[in-house]
Amino acid sequence: MIYIQVELLLIDMYIALVINYTIGFFSNFYLNRKFTFKSNGSAKKEMKVSVMVYIFSFLMQFTFVYILKEQQYWILEGLSNFAHQLVPDFMVQMLTVERFNRMTDPKLIAICFGIVIFAVLNFSLNKMFSFNQDKKHKVKLEEK
């Protein structure tokens, strides 16, 4: 979705990130609560913590992407050049040179790294704070 928004719809990269992660929060919360962590705690409390976790994860991603894109661009250019050397010419021709160049654009590489940072942080923090079943079980045992 981010690729489509940035490359085809020409939406600013940072605005595209905000749009996608705002929409993604609700599906992420529901799926984590229902399937990943199988939580049956207070949805309201978990939602509050999840919002804080999500905002923190997003800010870390945004900061990381900004630093890479604006201050450490040479790293992204190096990765882009590496991709150009690594991929055989026939594959580039299959994709078309223009499309391959867009796919290896340094700003899109930054976004990919940012997505990984976000996913790892968001999952880890949700596991520790939002849907921590061990903590809930300890509280229930202490009440008995």
Each of the 144 residues of the chain gets a pLDDT tens digit; together they read: 887 898 889 999 889 978 987 898 999 999 999 999 999 899 999 999 999 999 999 899 989 988 888 888 888 888 888 888 998 888 888 888 888 888 888 888 888 889 899 999 999 999 999 997 665 544 454 555
Q: Which of 18, 32, 37, 16 is nearest to 137 (CA)?
A: 37
**How confident is the model at residue 109, as a pLDDT?**
86
- Give residue-wise pLDDT tens across range 132-143: 766 554 445 455
With tokens 């609560």, the residue in question is 33
**How confident is the model at residue 53, as a pLDDT?**
96
Phi and psi angles of residue 63, each rounded to the nearest 5 degrees, phi first: -65, -45
| Beta strand segments in 1-144, E | none
Considering the entire predicted model, what is its pTM? 0.71
**How confident is the model at residue 143, as a pLDDT?**
57
- Give residue-wise pLDDT tens across range 27-37: 999 999 999 99
CA angle 70, 72, 75 (to 5 degrees): 130
Distances in Å between the alpha carbon of 62 and those of 9, 12, 55, 133?
21, 13, 10, 29
Helix (H) / strand (E) containing 103: helix 97-103
Q: Which of 99, 117, 119, 107 is nearest to 79 (CA)?
A: 107
